[in-house]
Structure formats: structure tokens, C-alpha cells
């Protein structure tokens, strides 16, 4: 019971945090205005019918109607004003803040958790259901309080008019609640079993929806795999629904049976009171009794429904709490005696000392990596795909923690830095550059708020000017056509140039280039190589590549093989060694004319 209470309070917390006045106003309308309206509806019909039955003067009947109309109009104005001018606006504001809370929590969540399917399942629940389930919990609680206030009002009336109905209704509601809680338990189990299939169904939907995959779908057999995945998981979902359908239907039949018994019992009680015992006097009393009973039943359903629905919300709340309570050691900074946040705008010295790392449930590992880089040096890291080059870059950004060893910037352990401040001094261009449905200028300003004049010079330097000419666009034209049919569409090479251009908007202590030329043609790669090496001594640079033509002029080249540094040296030294680097370079050179592009 305490756990259900904690879960409910967890879901209600955003409404109190972000909407105290809204919560108070809603409570007032629910526990004060609603009972007044209910009592008025019950008594009005009794007074009118009884007045007509005893030939009361028309003037007195009008007076009754007038008073009722005043109450009805007042309640209507309050409810309509609340619904039309206040509720939707406040709910939108609260939901907006709830979603911002999710996004902010993601920033505080360690990157490693996104490799964990269980965490990602919880994350999916949060993004999809946090705002909705908080709203459900709030509305459920308000309905419960409204139900209690109306129950008190209706019980007070029925104690005077038909006390037996109260006992019959309570017994029926207790039985119905027991049935409903068992149905909810089954629904929760069904939902848990269906979620993995739904995630895969949503994945298929996303693949068919996103433009990035359209060419593959039309030209390869991926559509067959997707159709098979869709069909298999739909079958699995349907089989789960079938599995639970009979059990759920049994409880539903039981509820229907009790509802019918209850209806018959109420009819017997009223008939006995009206015709046999003659305790009910007048048609007005009969109508008010039926009205009060109807509202009592609805209120009891709301009250007992609150109990069963709280149990149902428990599953959602537990998943949401797992997400928000996930312990992070990197993004939520654990204070050190001396925290370094004031980082100079100068090239970094970087040392990796016996750094090892492995992913959970994976055979992949980096072993005893030792790399020493002086301020302003340009070093290259090369190796076959899957050797660990990109993982090493993520360690340098402290997206992951080494399982062993140390990473030091300027002879200070990375863990002693304010990680946000450190990352602000590290510029990164990953192989898969992300482009956002923002104007071109905003896409280039991810690191710094640079003037448009400076941006125009930058895009000229990296060879991006043609994208404006071919699209008749400008710096404020949106990239992609997600929201603008006149948006600029980019090639793979142009996207990679955007990633490089971003790094020219400010001074970094370290620049990491992860396969920056994989989508570029040889001419564009040559120009990019010149740009990188012309920046000598302005930033320490790590160039990760498997195209060895880009790394020939690096101050030092580290070759990674099977997760280890197997050799290091300049290009000439590694060629003379005739080992792994020599073999890689020879294989890549076999299909090209032997030209030393760095001397052209």
C-alpha cells in the first residue's frame, strides 16, 4: 500500500511543482462546486414534481426554478471559465515542463546506459508516458476527491430517504473493485509482455517513415527483413492478446453479472419502499432517490476505481522512477576537493596511461593504451574497422569511463574536471555528422554564436559555398525538408563538411576528427587535409582514419590492432618498419597511381 502511495505521489509531484495554483483551483471546483451542483440536481426535481403534485402556485414553482437557475448558471460559468480559459493552458504548460524535465535528466544520464536495452525500455516509457501518466494520476486523484465529496453529500440525502441503497451500493462496489483489480493485474502483465514486440513494430514503422532509409527499402532486400520482423512481432502481439483475452473476459463477465444483480436489487428495494412499506412518499421523492442513487453509484465507482487504477499506474510509475533514479557518475558530477572548471584556451597536453575498456556483455576491449600528445601536436590513430578507434574518442570525451588506467589533460585526471566545461574545449567531428532541421547558420553555431560574416568565410574555406548557389538559399535557409519544402538537401560529403565547419567557429584545446573524409571525393579530401594541417599549433588534434592518405603528415601515428597499440611512429618510420601500417598502406595504394599528394 505504501509503495502504491509513493508511486502515486511520484506521478503527482510535477503538478504540485509546476502548477500549485492550478492544483488548488481544481481541488476547489472538485470538492466544493461539484457537490453543490449534485445536491441541486437531486433536490430540484423533487421540489418541482412535489410542488406540481400538490397544486402549488405557479409563482412558487417559478421561485424554485429561479433559485435553481441561479445555482446552475453560477456553476456553469465557473466550469466553462475553468475549462475554456485556464485548464488547457495550464495543462500545456505543465506538460511542457514535464518534458523539459525528461530532456534535462537525459543530459545528466551517463552515456553508457543507452547501450542497455532495459534502460532504453524505461527511457521509451518515460518519453511516451510520463506527461500522460502524470496527468492520469492527477485527474484520477481529483476524481477521487470529487467522488468522496459527492458520496458524503449523497449519503446524507439517502440516509433520510433510502438508507438501504447505501448498503447495497457499497457491497456491489467492493465486489466490483476486487474484480477490477484482478483485471488490472492481468492487463499489467499483458502490457509488460507486449512492450518488446511493440518496440520492434515501432522500429519498423520508423524505418518506413524516415527518408534516410527510403533508398535502401526500394533497392535492397531490407524490406523483406522488415516485413518479416513486422509480421513476426504482430503475431507475437496477437498471441499475447489471445492468451490474456479469456482470463480478462472471465473477470469482465463476473463484473457484468454483479452489475445486473445490483440493478435488480435496487429495483426490488425501491419497489418495496414505494409500494409495500409506503416509506417513500410522492413521485418527487422517487425521482430524487433514483437521481441520488445514480450519482452515488458513479461516485463510488470513481472512488473504488481510484484504488484499482492506482494499482495499474504502479507499473508506469516504477518504470519512470527507474529512469529518473538511474545513478550517474559522470554527468552528475561527484565533487572533488579541487575541481577544474576554468580551462585555458590553449592546446591541450594529453596522456593516456594504461587505459583499458570493455563493453558489458561484449568480447570487445581496449587494452593498455598508452598515448602521449604534446600541446599543438597532430597525431593520427589508424586501424581496421572495429579496432576501437571511435570508442577511444568517446573515452576522451568521458562518455565512458576506462575500466583501468588514467586519462589526463594537462597532467590533470579527466575525472577532476568539470566535464561540461572540458567538453566545451573539445571539438568533435564524428563520421556520422548529425544535421538538424534548423537554418544553416544554426547548424554551424553548435559550438559558438559566430557572426554570419564569419560563417560565410568558414563555409567558403571548407568548400560549402556551392550549397547556397545550387539551392538559391542563404544562411537562414533550413537544412533538410523536414519542415520547409525549400530546405537545402545535402550530400554525404557536404554533411561531413558541415561537421568540419562547426569546428572553425571557436578555439579548442583539442580537436577530434573521427573519419572526417569517409564521404569525400579525393579532391575534397585533399583540401580538407590542407585545412587540418594548416591549423598547426592552434589546437591539439587527433585524426582517426582508415584512409591513410590523410595521416601521412601527422606528428605521430598510432596503429591499433585488436584493441591494442601495436606500433607508433611517423609515416616514414612505420613504412620502414614494414609491419601492420606498412601492410595497410600498401593495400590501399595498390589501386592508385603512386603520387605523394602532400608534396603537390
Is the pTM higher than 0.75? The answer reads no
Q: Does the structure show a pLDDT above 80 at 470?
A: no
Q: Quick one: which H or E segment has residue 358?
A: strand 350-358
Which three-class secondary structure string do you get for 18-54? Answer: HCHHHHHHHHHHHHHHHHHHHHHHHHHHHHHHHHHHC
Check residues 571 and 550 and name the one with the higher pLDDT.
571
Average pLDDT of 279-289?
Answer: 60
| Sign, CA torsion 360/392/511/437 | negative
Task: Let me know whether 294 and 206 are in one domain.
Answer: yes
Check residue 598 and give its pLDDT: 43
Average pLDDT of 102-107?
Answer: 84
Tell me the CATH number at 427.
Answer: 3.40.50.300
Residues present in the chain in total: 600
- Structural domain boundaries enclosing 548: 350-435+490-599
- The tens digit of pLDDT for each residue in 409-447 reads 999 999 989 888 899 899 998 878 888 888 889 989 988
Check residue 3 and give its pLDDT: 67
Average pLDDT of 137-154?
Answer: 84
Q: Does the structure show a pLDDT above 70 at 52?
A: no
Cell numbers 516509457 correspond to: 125
3-state secondary structure (DSSP) of residue 554: coil
Task: Let me know whether 166 and 39 are in one domain.
Answer: yes
Task: Let me know whether 408 and 316 are in one domain.
Answer: no
Residue 155 domain flag: yes
Check residue 351 and give its pLDDT: 96
pLDDT tier for residue 597 given thresholds of 50, 70 and 90? very low
Q: Does the structure show a pLDDT above 90 at 76?
A: no
Check residue 248 and give its pLDDT: 87
Question: What single string gives the DSSP state of each residue in 251-311?
Answer: HHHHHHHHHHHHHHHHHHHHHIIIIIS--S-SHHHHHHHHHHHHHHHHHHHHHHHHHHHHH
Check residue 61 and give its pLDDT: 76
Task: Let me know whether 278 and 130 are in one domain.
Answer: yes
- The tens digit of pLDDT for each residue in 368-408 reads 999 999 999 999 999 887 778 888 989 999 999 999 999 99
Q: Where is average pLDDT lowest: 136-145, 240-249, 300-309?
A: 300-309
Check residue 380 and give its pLDDT: 92
| Cα 171 from Cα 228, distance rounded (Å) | 51
Check residue 1 and give its pLDDT: 60
Q: Of 324, 359, 391, at which residue does a domain stop?
A: 324
Average pLDDT of 215-237?
Answer: 83
Q: Are 40 and 66 in contact (CB under 8 A)?
A: no
Check residue 335 and give its pLDDT: 54
Residue 425 domain flag: yes
DSSP 478: B
Cell of 154: 449523497
Residue 67 domain flag: yes
- The tens digit of pLDDT for each residue in 491-550 reads 888 888 888 888 888 889 999 988 877 667 677 777 777 776 665 558 899 998 877 878
Q: Does the structure show a pLDDT above 50 at 43?
A: yes
Residue 311 domain flag: yes
3-state secondary structure (DSSP) of residue 475: coil
Average pLDDT of 305-331?
Answer: 78
Residue 345 domain flag: no
Residue 482 domain flag: no
Check residue 542 and give its pLDDT: 93
Average pLDDT of 556-578?
Answer: 92
Q: Are 160 and 292 in contact (CB under 8 A)?
A: no
Task: Let me know whether 254 and 390 are in one domain.
Answer: no
Q: What does residue 541 show for φ and ψ, rounded to 5 degrees?
A: -130, 135
β-strands 404-409, 350-358: how paired?
A: antiparallel
Domain count, the chain: 2
Cα separation values, 128 from 113, 119, 430, 459, Å = 18, 14, 29, 39
Reference 177, options 310, 301, 313, 1; nearest CA is 301
- Burial (0-12, 13-18, 19+ Cβ within 10 Å), 415: middle
Reference 33, options 75, 71, 65; nearest CA is 75
Check residue 272 and give its pLDDT: 67
Task: Let me know whether 315 and 356 are in one domain.
Answer: no
Ordered strands of the 540-545 beta sheet: 426-429, 510-514, 540-545, 378-382, 556-561, 564-569
Q: Does the structure show a pLDDT above 60 at 337?
A: no
- Burial (0-12, 13-18, 19+ Cβ within 10 Å), 373: buried
- The tens digit of pLDDT for each residue in 172-225 reads 777 877 887 788 788 878 888 888 888 888 888 878 877 667 777 776 778 888
Tell me the CATH number at 19.
Answer: 1.20.1560.10
Check residue 270 and give its pLDDT: 64
Q: Are 98 and 131 in contact (CB under 8 A)?
A: yes
Residue 506 domain flag: yes
Cell of 379: 597525431
Task: Let me know whether 245 and 389 are in one domain.
Answer: no
Half-sphere exposure of 361 (CA within 13 A, CB side): 4
Q: Are 415 and 375 in contact (CB under 8 A)?
A: no
Residues 6+ apart with CB under 8 A from 281: none
Task: Let me know whether 257 and 112 are in one domain.
Answer: yes
Average pLDDT, the chain: 82
Task: Let me know whether 320 and 372 are in one domain.
Answer: no
Check residues 468 and 45 and name the one with the higher pLDDT.
468
Check residue 256 and give its pLDDT: 83
Check residue 17 and give its pLDDT: 92
Work out the end-to-end distance of the chain between its first and last CA atoms, rounded to an integer number of angstroms.
78
Q: What does residue 505 show for φ and ψ, rounded to 5 degrees?
A: -90, -10
CB count in 10 Å sphere of residue 54: 9
Cell of 123: 527511457
**In the chain, what are the helix, strand and coil shares in percent, each to the nearest 5?**
65, 10, 25
Own/partner long-range contacts of 103-109 (Cβ < 8 Å, ≥24 apart): 105/323, 105/324, 107/331, 108/328, 108/331, 108/332, 109/326, 109/328, 109/331
Torsion of CA 144, 148, 154, 155, to 10 degrees: 130
Residues 6+ apart with CB under 8 A from 94: 14, 15, 18, 19, 22, 134
pLDDT tier for residue 463 given thresholds of 50, 70 and 90? confident
Ordered strands of the 404-409 beta sheet: 365-373, 350-358, 404-409, 412-413
Q: Which range in 58-67, 126-135, 396-405 is most confidently predicted, on average pLDDT?
A: 396-405
Q: Does the structure show a pLDDT above 80 at 31?
A: yes
pLDDT tier for residue 252 given thresholds of 50, 70 and 90? confident
Q: Are 479 and 488 in contact (CB under 8 A)?
A: yes
Q: Which range in 39-43, 152-156, 416-420 is most confidently predicted, on average pLDDT?
A: 416-420
Task: Let me know whether 169 and 235 are in one domain.
Answer: yes
Check residue 377 and give its pLDDT: 92
Task: Let me know whether 242 and 288 are in one domain.
Answer: yes
Check residue 600 and give its pLDDT: 38
Residue 85 domain flag: yes
Task: Let me know whether 125 and 211 are in one domain.
Answer: yes
Which three-class secondary structure string do you get for 384-411? Answer: CCCCCHHHHHHHHCCCCCCCEEEEEECC
| Cα 196 from Cα 232, distance rounded (Å) | 12
Check residue 271 and give its pLDDT: 65
Half-sphere exposure of 300 (CA within 13 A, CB side): 21
3-state secondary structure (DSSP) of residue 444: helix
Amino acid at each position: 500500500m505504501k509503495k502504491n502511495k509513493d508511486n502515486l505521489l511520484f506521478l503527482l509531484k510535477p503538478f504540485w511543482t509546476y502548477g500549485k495554483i492550478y492544483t488548488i483551483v481544481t481541488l476547489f471546483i472538485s470538492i466544493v462546486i461539484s457537490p453543490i451542483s449534485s445536491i441541486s440536481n437531486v433536490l430540484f426535481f423533487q421540489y418541482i414534481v412535489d410542488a406540481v403534485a400538490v397544486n402549488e402556485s405557479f409563482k412558487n414553482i417559478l421561485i424554485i426554478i429561479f433559485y435553481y437557475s441561479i445555482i446552475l448558471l453560477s456553476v456553469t460559468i465557473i466550469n466553462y471559465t475553468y475549462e475554456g480559459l485556464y485548464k488547457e493552458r495550464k495543462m500545456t504548460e505543465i506538460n511542457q515542463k514535464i518534458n523539459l524535465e525528461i530532456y534535462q535528466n537525459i543530459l545528466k544520464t551517463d552515456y553508457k546506459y543507452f547501450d542497455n536495452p532495459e534502460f532504453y525500455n524505461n527511457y521509451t516509457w518515460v518519453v511516451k508516458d510520463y506527461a500522460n501518466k502524470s496527468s492520469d494520476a492527477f485527474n484520477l486523484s481529483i476524481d477521487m476527491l470529487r467522488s468522496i465529496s459527492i458520496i458524503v453529500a449523497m449519503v446524507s440525502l439517502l440516509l433520510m430517504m433510502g438508507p438501504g441503497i447505501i448498503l447495497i451500493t457499497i457491497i456491489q462496489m467492493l465486489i466490483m473493485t476486487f474484480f477490477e483489480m484482478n483485471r488490472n493485474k492481468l492487463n499489467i502483465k499483458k502490457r509488460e509482455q507486449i512492450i518488446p514486440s511493440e518496440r520492434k513494430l515501432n522500429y519498423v514503422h520508423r524505418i518506413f517513415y524516415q527518408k534516410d532509409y527510403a533508398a535502401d527499402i526500394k533497392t535492397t532486400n531490407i524490406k523483406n527483413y522488415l516485413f518479416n520482423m513486422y509480421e513476426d512481432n504482430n503475431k507475437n502481439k496477437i498471441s499475447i492478446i489471445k492468451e490474456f483475452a479469456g482470463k480478462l473476459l472471465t473477470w469482465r463477465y463476473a463484473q457484468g453479472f454483479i452489475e445486473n444483480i445490483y440493478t435488480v436489487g435496487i429495483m426490488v428495494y425501491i419497489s418495496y419502499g414505494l409500494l409495500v412499506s409506503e416509506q417513500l412518499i410522492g413521485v418527487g421523492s422517487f425521482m430524487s432517490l433514483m437521481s441520488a442513487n445514480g450519482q452515488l453509484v458513479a461516485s463510488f465507482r470513481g472512488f473504488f476505481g481510484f484504488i484499482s487504477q492506482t494499482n495499474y499506474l504502479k507499473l508506469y510509475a516504477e518504470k519512470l522512477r527507474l529512469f529518473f533514479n538511474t545513478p550517474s557518475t559522470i554527468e552528475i558530477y561527484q565533487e572533488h576537493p579541487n575541481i577544474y572548471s576554468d580551462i585555458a584556451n590553449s592546446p591541450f597536453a594529453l596522456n593516456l596511461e594504461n587505459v583499458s575498456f570493455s563493453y558489458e556483455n561484449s568480447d570487445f576491449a581496449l587494452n593498455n593504451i598508452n598515448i602521449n600528445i604534446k600541446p599543438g601536436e597532430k597525431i593520427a590513430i589508424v586501424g581496421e574497422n572495429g579496432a576501437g578507434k571511435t570508442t577511444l574518442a568517446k573515452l576522451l570525451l568521458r562518455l565512458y569511463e576506462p575500466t583501468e588506467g588514467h586519462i589526463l589533460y594537462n597532467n590533470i585526471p579527466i575525472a577532476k574536471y568539470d566535464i561540461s566545461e572540458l567538453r566545451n574545449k573539445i571539438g568533435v567531428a564524428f563520421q556520422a555528422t548529425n544535421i538538424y532541421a534548423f537554418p544553416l547558420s544554426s547548424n554551424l553555431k553548435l559550438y559558438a554564436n559566430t557572426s554570419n560574416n564569419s560563417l560565410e568565410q568558414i563555409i567558403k574555406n571548407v568548400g560549402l559555398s556551392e550549397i547556397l548557389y545550387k539551392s538559391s538559399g542563404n544562411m537562414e535557409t533550413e537544412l533538410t525538408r523536414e519542415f520547409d519544402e525549400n530546405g537545402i538537401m545535402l550530400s554525404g560529403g557536404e554533411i561531413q563538411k558541415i561537421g568540419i565547419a562547426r569546428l572553425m567557429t571557436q578555439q579548442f584545446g583539442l580537436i577530434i576528427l573521427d573519419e572526417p573524409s569517409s564521404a569525400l571525393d579525393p579532391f575534397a579530401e585533399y583540401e580538407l587535409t590542407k585545412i587540418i594541417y594548416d591549423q598547426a599549433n592552434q589546437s591539439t588534434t587527433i585524426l582517426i582514419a582508415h584512409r591513410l592518405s590523410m595521416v601521412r603528415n601527422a606528428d605521430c601515428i598510432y596503429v591499433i590492432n585488436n584493441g591494442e597499440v601495436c606500433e607508433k611512429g611517423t609515416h616514414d618510420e612505420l613504412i620502414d618498419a614494414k609491419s601492420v601500417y606498412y601492410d595497410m598502406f600498401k593495400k590501399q595504394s595498390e589501386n592508385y597511381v603512386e603520387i605523394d599528394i602532400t608534396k603537390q
